């Protein structure tokens, strides 16, 4: 790679953006500070109406690494029921390398993220690598949300873990075989994609050191909306496992007392479960009405 950047030529990093003006520079700066660079960075913008595109273009000026920006207005809620999944699929369709690394523009990458997410593929039997993620410690509520609503990737059982597309890598051939990210819902597309990959018996590996830092909801209002969106995506995709847990919490809230974090933030935990469950029911109904 030009100017001596240490490169991983078989890998491409992809992400989607839409009105990320407040976060995109933090993401790009974390990318610029990587210890290892992929061959390409492909960003699909869904027709942002803020200064996201301008910021990406300005950042690219003078940066020795080429950034491919694809602007496609159909990758937005206005034109698609699954804009994130569609954007990811468009990005991956433009990938010319054997391996794809996916993240979100609202994240900040650990300086060794690319190096760590790529490393397990030295074993040719590995098909999918899930990475770790933590919240950005912006305010007190972000910490509460992390405690009660986020998967703790440092503690999760690797055999049961479904990687998030904010921190994952996979062979492009695997994406092709399962038909890409399912374009059926606004959220939950990455969970269903990972379920499809597991169902196809691809070999998963969890590298907790491949870390990204995620901007979690900063207010109770944001969190309720986020949980409802997750439930909606699970309902439209018919992903039942997480919803069964929320149903148990809603029906028998005393189960929350078994966890110190859920006990400490009981009402937050209970409300998030209700929001997810209500979104799930709406998602199932939406799917049923579409099939009538």
So what's the pLDDT on residue 5?
Answer: 64
Which residue from 94, 107, 97, 83 is spatially nearest to 29, judged by alpha carbons? Answer: 107
Tens digits of residue pLDDT in 111-144: 999 999 999 999 999 999 999 999 988 899 999 9
Which class is domain 2-214?
A: alpha beta
| pLDDT at residue 83, as a whole number | 92
- Domain positions in the chain are 2-214, 220-290
| Residue 257 binned pLDDT confidence (cut-offs 50, 70, 90) | confident
Instruction: For residue range 97-106, list pLDDT tens digits in order.
Output: 999 999 999 8
- pLDDT at residue number 237: 81
CA distance 155 to 144: 18
Looking at residue 63, its pLDDT comes to 83
Quick one: pLDDT at residue 290? 78
Read off the pTM: 0.91
**Strand 7-17 versus strand 99-102 pairing type:** parallel
Is 246 within 8 Å of 273 (Cβ atoms)? yes
pLDDT, position 104: 93
């Amino acid at each position: 790679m030009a100017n001596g950047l240490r490169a991983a030529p078989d890998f491409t990093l992809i992400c989607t953006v839409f009105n990320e003006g407040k976060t995109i520079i933090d993401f790009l700066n974390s990318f610029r500070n990587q210890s290892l660079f992929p061959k390409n960075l492909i960003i699909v913008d869904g027709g942002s109406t803020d200064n996201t595109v301008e910021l990406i273009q300005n950042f690219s000026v003078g940066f020795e690494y080429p950034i491919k920006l694809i602007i496609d207005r159909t990758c937005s809620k206005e034109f698609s029921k699954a804009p994130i999944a569609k954007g990811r699929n468009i990005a991956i369709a433009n990938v010319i390398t054997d391996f794809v690394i996916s993240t979100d523009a609202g994240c900040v990458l650990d300086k060794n993220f690319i190096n760590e997410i790529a490393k397990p593929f030295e074993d040719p039997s590995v098909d999918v690598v899930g990475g770790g993620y933590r919240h950005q410690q912006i305010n007190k509520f972000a910490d509460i949300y992390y405690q009660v609503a986020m998967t703790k990737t440092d503690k999760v059982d690797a055999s049961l873990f479904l990687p998030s597309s904010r921190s994952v890598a996979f062979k492009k051939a695997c994406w092709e075989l399962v038909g890409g990210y399912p374009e059926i819902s606004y959220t939950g597309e990455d969970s269903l994609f990972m379920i499809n990959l597991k169902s196809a018996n691809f070999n998963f590996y969890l590298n907790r050191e491949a870390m990204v830092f995620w901007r979690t909801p900063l207010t109770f209002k944001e969190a309720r909306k986020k949980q409802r969106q997750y439930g909606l995506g699970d309902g439209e995709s018919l992903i039942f496992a997480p919803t069964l847990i929320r149903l148990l919490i809603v029906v028998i809230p005393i189960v929350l007392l078994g966890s110190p974090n859920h006990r400490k933030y009981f009402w937050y935990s209970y409300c998030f479960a209700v929001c997810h469950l209500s979104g799930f029911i709406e998602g199932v109904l939406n799917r049923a009405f579409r099939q009538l």
